[in-house]
Amino acid sequence: QLQASGGGLVQAGGSLRLSCAASGRTFSSYVMSWFRQAPGKEREFVASISRRSSSTNYADSVKGRFTISRDNAKNTVYLEMNSLKPEDTAVYYCAATRSGATSRGSDYIYWGQGTQVTVSR
């Protein structure tokens, strides 16, 4: 089970840190990612992190502004979001996969409930 938190309302240029806590003892065996879905749009990949944090991947739209990290001892994955833009407004979901790093939502088997991020102008 994945539980996302940390969303909220922030002005453009501001920052937020999302967290996703996982239950169970096998967190470190999963590649973890964040996706987002804006109103009227399809879900899109944001970032992923490998099992031991050795590699990360980002969507071009967030490179240089967002940072994904994880703490396997705490069964938690984070998304640090800086220089937020109104177009970052979306519901953000964490997800877990046993596959390799992938941006395809269909490869993920566990999903969090989502946390709303709203960036005002």
Averaged pLDDT in 10-residue chunks for the chain of 121 residues: 97 98 93 97 98 97 98 97 98 95 93 97 93
Residue identified by tokens 């453009």 is 12
Query: Which class for 80: exposed (0-12), middle (13-18), buried (19 or more C-beta within 10 A)?
Result: middle
Q: Which string of DSSP letters, residue by residue, matches 29-57? A: GSEEEEEEE-TTS--EEEEEE-TTSS-EE
**In this predicted structure, what is the pLDDT of residue 101?**
81
